[in-house]
Structure 1
């Protein structure tokens, strides 16, 4: 799944916060739930507009970005 089709940013949707495409569910919400110990299945039950394919694709993309040679650049950009 292409990142551009996975995530939407629109100033008219939650002030431009990145959301799962086709939803009003912020990307950050998935990470907040996982950090709190909520399972992926529970997250999907709480946010039925997000498909399992979308959530898994986002996690796979985050994994690739954070384990790639670009990790140093990402850390610098986040600082």
Structure 2
């Protein structure tokens, strides 16, 4: 992320080093799972008062950045 203020952080002593929203124990994985399950941003924010819309956008940006990596993961036609 190019942002001066880190919205996503990773620390081996917090959530086993998984990327989390700064100042929380909310993982990027949790945010992405909730969005994939069909929850709205508003529902996620209501369920996690310390989370912000900026944090959700940062989680999506991290996922997009990870997919831009040179490694391509083949998927069968049935999906994951």
Q: Same fold (TM over 0.5)?
A: yes
Runs of at least 5 residues in structure 1 that lack an aligned partner in the other structure: none
What SS does structure 2 have at the residue aligned with 1:75?
Answer: coil
In structure 2, the residue matched to 1:53 is 54
Find the aligned partners of 2:71 and 2:25 in 1 and give their Cα distance. 26
Count of residue pairs brought into register by the alignment: 72
RMSD: 2.6
Find the aligned partners of 2:72 and 2:4 in 1 and give their Cα distance. 19
Q: Does residue 44 in structure 1 map to residue 41 in structure 2?
A: no
What SS does structure 1 have at the residue aligned with 2:70?
Answer: helix
| Higher share of residues assigned helix | 1
- The TM-score with structure 2 as length reference comes to 0.70
Q: Which has the larger radius of gyration?
A: 2
Find the aligned partners of 1:61 and 1:13 in 2 and give their Cα distance. 18
What do residues 9-67 of structure 1 show as CA deviations (whole Å, max 9, x unaligned)? Answer: 1111111111001110001111100111111110111111111122123324544x37x
In structure 1, the residue matched to 2:6 is 5
- TM-aligned CA distance change 1:14 to 1:3, over 3 Å: farther
